[in-house]
Structure 1
Amino acid sequence: MTIEIKDLHKNFGKNQILKGIDLTIDEGHIYAILGPNGSGKTTLIKSILGMVIPNKGLIAVLDKPIKKDWRYRKKIDYLPQIANFPPNIKVKELIHMIKDLRNSPSAEGELIALFGLEPFLNKKLSTLSGGTKQKVNIVLTFMFDSPLIILDEPTTGLDPMALIRLKELIQREKAQGKTILITSHIMQFVEEMADKILYLLEGEIYFKGNIGELLEQTGEPDFEHAIAALTTTGSHA
Structure 2
Amino acid sequence: METILKIENLYKNYGAVKAVKNVSLEIKKGNVYGILGPNGSGKSTTLGIVLNVVNKTSGEYSWFGGKMETHEALKKVGAIIERPNFYPYMTAEQNLKLVCKIKGTNYAKIHEKLEIVGLLDRKNSKFRTFSLGMKQRLAIASALLNDPEILILDEPTNGLDPQGIRQIRDIINLIASQGTTILLASHLLDEVEKVCSHVLILRKGEILYSGEVGGMNSKDGFFELISDNLSDLKVALEQHPAIENTSEENGKITAFTNTNLEASELNRYLASKNIFLNHLVKRKHSLEEQFLELTKNN
Match of 2:77 in 1: 76
Contact 1:10 1:19 (C-alpha < 8 Å) held by counterparts: yes
Contact 2:137 2:168 (C-alpha < 8 Å) held by counterparts: no
Residues 116-137 of structure 1: CA distance to partner in whole angstroms, max 9, x if unpaired? 4345434433332212211211
Match of 1:230 in 2: 294
Q: 1:112, CA displacement in angstroms?
A: 2.3
Residues 51-70 of structure 1: CA distance to partner in whole angstroms, max 9, x if unpaired? 11101111101112776x41
Q: C-alpha separation between the residues in 2 aligned to 1:85 and 1:104?
A: 18
Q: C-alpha separation between the residues in 2 aligned to 1:179 and 1:114?
A: 16
Match of 2:285 in 1: 221
Residues 147-206 of structure 1: CA distance to partner in whole angstroms, max 9, x if unpaired? 11111222342663x655544443343344432111223222211111111001111111
Q: Secondary structure at the match of 1:146?
A: coil
Match of 1:93 in 2: 94
Gaps (5+ residues) in structure 1?
A: none
Contact 1:91 1:124 (C-alpha < 8 Å) held by counterparts: yes
- The partner residue of 1:211 within 188, 210, 213 is 213
Q: Answer yes or no: is 1:102 the counterpart of 2:166.
A: no
**Going by fraction, where is strand more abundant, 1 or 2?**
2
Contact 2:7 2:24 (C-alpha < 8 Å) held by counterparts: yes
Match of 2:242 in 1: none
Q: C-alpha separation between the residues in 1 aligned to 2:150 and 2:63?
A: 9
Q: Secondary structure at the match of 1:52?
A: coil
Paired AA for residue 107 in structure 1: K
Q: C-alpha separation between the residues in 2 aligned to 1:174 and 1:119?
A: 23
Paired AA for residue 110 in structure 1: E
After TM superposition, the structure 1 stretch with the greater mean CA deviation from structure 2, 105-114 or 196-205, is 105-114
Match of 2:244 in 1: none
Contact 1:9 1:54 (C-alpha < 8 Å) held by counterparts: yes
Task: Report matched runs for 1:1-237 at 5 Å.
Answer: 1-64=3-66, 69-105=70-106, 107-118=109-120, 120-156=122-158, 157=160, 160=163, 166-217=168-219, 219=221, 221-233=285-297
Q: 1:41, CA displacement in angstroms?
A: 0.2
Residues 72-121 of structure 1: CA distance to partner in whole angstroms, max 9, x if unpaired? 11110112241233433332221001111111346321332454434543
After TM superposition, the structure 1 stretch with the greater mean CA deviation from structure 2, 132-141 or 117-126, is 117-126
Q: Secondary structure at the match of 2:219?
A: helix
Q: How many residues align?
A: 232
Match of 2:277 in 1: none
Q: Secondary structure at the match of 1:85?
A: coil
Q: Secondary structure at the match of 2:295?
A: helix
Q: Secondary structure at the match of 2:217?
A: helix
Structure-1-length-normalised TM-score: 0.85
Structure-2-length-normalised TM-score: 0.69
Contact 1:18 1:204 (C-alpha < 8 Å) held by counterparts: yes
